[in-house]
């Protein structure tokens, strides 16, 4: 609870500074998670007078926390207008279950409430249950089933959004550091692993954990570590789909980026129409000719050495449109814009190393157009299978 509260406050401060939608959604996620663990604390401290309120709040948070994580991913990877429908669609089950639980608690007498709390919440016994306590017990079982059913949908949909977004970033930017969602991708897999533990806990019920502080410590530490890591990663993830739109709009192009729900095939990423593939652009260039022009401006003019190079920079240089350039690079060359540019940068770095093996890596990284040493090392290893030192040793042995 304290971990979520800490990151909720920290991310809210960042939201006030940046006014970015995904920080708002992440703040809401942390608030919901804080309330979720507040509900846990009321239960484990046996604070009976607060059980009706805390259990109602817990019902909403228990069923909303994972869908809200998905809403956060959606706010990062799609047009901001889509987030409202995502909230309604994914949080509707939690609202319905919360209303049912709250109304049932309100309809209980003090005796029924005491019977339900003592017999079911802490003992998981349904013996001789009738009336409102029986209805409430069934609602709690329904809550567990809804939690289990929604998990695969959240994970699959989240992975699909992240994959599409990363593909879009690779197609528009040479430097993908701090833009791609690979860290969020890892967090989602961690969520999946922890979700299995959550499902087991939901099936067994909290009664198993209430019997021993030591048993309760294990999931507490795991969830706290995961949530702290997620809060840290989310706090650092400033880049989103909105930034892509701003970059495109800043060029004055009329062509817009495709809505993420349409990004299934390569061509759909940039609204490429198959029937237009062989039509001349406004400069009279066909795709095959355009490929030659791209290679010429990249290699002869060394455009690839431009720091933070974007696809739109190449568009302005050639006086054509994104769709044709995307088609020439991704379909004809069989690579992404990011891979193409960085492969040229690595080849350039190798040429420099052949003439000056003692050049400092940091200087070589900047000279080759990379945005950071980390990006330089990662791409060098990707295309050459080893580090610059390994490359120098190999060349020296020839």
| pLDDT, tens only, 228-241 | 988 999 999 999 99
pLDDT, residue 98, reads 97
Of the candidate ranges 89-93, 275-279, 329-333, the one whose mean pLDDT is the lowest:
275-279
**CB-based contact 153:73 (threshold 8 Å):** no
Q: Tell which phi-psi region holds residue 258, choosing left (phi > 0), alpha (psi between -120 and 50) or beta.
A: beta
Let me know: does 233 contact 225? Beta carbons within 8 Å: no
The stretch 301-316 carries a mean pLDDT of 91
User: Greater confidence, 46 or 160?
Assistant: 160
pTM: 0.84
Min mean pLDDT across 89-103, 122-136, 296-310 is at 122-136
Q: What gap in Å lies between CA 192 and CA 145, rounded to an integer?
A: 17
Residue 221 confidence class, pLDDT cut points 50, 70, 90: confident
Say what the pLDDT of residue 52 is. Answer: 94
- Going by pLDDT thresholds of 50, 70 and 90, the confidence category of residue 220 is confident
pLDDT at 251 over 60: no
pLDDT over 70 (residue 269)? no
Is a pLDDT exceeding 60 seen at residue 265? no
Please state at what angle helix 388-397 crosses helix 373-384, rounded to 10 degrees: 40
Decide: 43 and 54 in contact? Cβ < 8 Å.
yes
Distance CA 265, CA 261 (A): 11
Phi, psi (deg, nearest 5) at residue 173: -130, 140
Share of the chain above pLDDT 70, in %: 86
Answer with the residue of higher pLDDT: 268 or 133: 133
Which conformational region is residue 93 in: left (phi greater than 0), alpha (psi within -120 to 50 degrees), or beta? alpha
Query: How confident is the model over 124-136, as a mean pLDDT?
Result: 81
Under 8 Å between Cβ of 149 and 38: no
Alpha-carbon distance of 84 to 380, in angstroms, equals: 42
d(CA 299, CA 178): 27
Which has more confidence, 84 or 267?
84
On whether the CB atoms of residues 240 and 75 are closer than 8 A, the answer is yes
Q: Are 250 and 241 in contact (CB under 8 A)?
A: no
Q: How far is C-alpha 147 from the geometric centre of its chain's CA atoms?
A: 21
- What tokens does 170 get? 């690779």
274 has a pLDDT exceeding 60: no
Residue 259's pLDDT is 42
**Mean pLDDT (whole number) for 129-156:** 88
Residue 250's pLDDT is 59
Could you report the per-residue pLDDT of 344-383, keeping only the tens digit for each? 999 999 999 998 888 999 999 999 999 899 999 999 999 9
Residue 396 is predicted with a pLDDT of 59
Query: CA dist 356 to 205, 353, 361, 369, 376, Å?
Result: 66, 5, 11, 17, 17
Q: What is the pLDDT of residues 177-207, one digit of tens each?
A: 889 998 888 888 777 777 777 667 656 655 6
| Cα 191 from Cα 199, distance rounded (Å) | 12
CB atoms within 10 A of CB 388: 22
Distances (CA, A) of 64 to 30, 89, 124, 303: 11, 11, 24, 48
- Of 396 and 103, which is predicted with more confidence? 103
Confidence (pLDDT) at 191: 74
């Amino acid at each position: 609870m304290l971990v979520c509260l800490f990151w909720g406050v920290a991310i809210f401060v960042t939201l006030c500074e940046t006014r970015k939608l995904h920080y708002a959604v992440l703040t809401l996620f942390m608030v919901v998670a804080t309330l979720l663990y507040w509900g846990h604390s009321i239960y484990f401290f046996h604070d009976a007078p607060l059980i009706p309120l805390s259990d109602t709040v817990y019902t909403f948070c228990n069923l909303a926390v994972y869908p809200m994580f998905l809403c956060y991913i959606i706010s990062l990877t799609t047009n901001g207008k889509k987030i409202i429908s995502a909230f309604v669609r994914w949080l509707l089950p939690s609202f319905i279950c919360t209303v049912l639980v709250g109304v049932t608690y309100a309809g209980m007498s003090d005796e029924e409430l005491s019977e339900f709390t003592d017999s079911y919440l802490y003992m998981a016994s349904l013996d001789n249950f009738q009336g409102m306590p029986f209805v409430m017990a069934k609602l709690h079982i329904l809550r567990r089933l809804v939690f289990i059913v929604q998990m695969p949908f959240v994970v699959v949909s989240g992975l699909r959004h992240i994959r599409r977004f990363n593909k879009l970033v690779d197609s528009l930017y040479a430097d993908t550091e701090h833009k791609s969602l690979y860290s969020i991708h890892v967090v989602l897999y961690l969520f999946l692993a922890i979700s299995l533990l959550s499902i087991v806990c939901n099936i067994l019920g909290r009664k198993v954990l209430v019997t021993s502080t030591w048993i309760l410590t294990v999931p507490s530490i795991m969830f706290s570590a995961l949530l702290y890591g997620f809060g840290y990663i989310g706090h650092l993830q400033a880049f989103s789909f909105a930034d892509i739109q701003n970059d495109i709009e800043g060029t004055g192009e009329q062509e817009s980026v495709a809505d993420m729900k349409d990004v299934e095939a390569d061509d759909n990423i940039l609204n490429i129409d198959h029937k237009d593939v062989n039509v001349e652009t406004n400069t009279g260039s066909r795709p095959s000719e355009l490929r030659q022009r791209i290679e010429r401006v990249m290699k002869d003019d060394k455009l690839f050495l431009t720091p933070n190079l974007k696809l739109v920079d190449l568009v302005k240089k050639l006086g054509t449109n994104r769709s044709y350039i995307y088609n020439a690079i991704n379909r004809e060359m069989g690579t992404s814009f990011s891979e193409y540019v960085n492969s040229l940068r690595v080849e350039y770095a190798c040429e420099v190393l052949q003439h000056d093996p003692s050049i400092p890596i940091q200087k070589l990284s900047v000279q080759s157009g990379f945005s950071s040493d980390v990006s330089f090392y990662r791409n060098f290893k990707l295309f050459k299978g080893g580090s610059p030192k390994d490359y120098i040793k190999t060349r020296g042995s020839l």
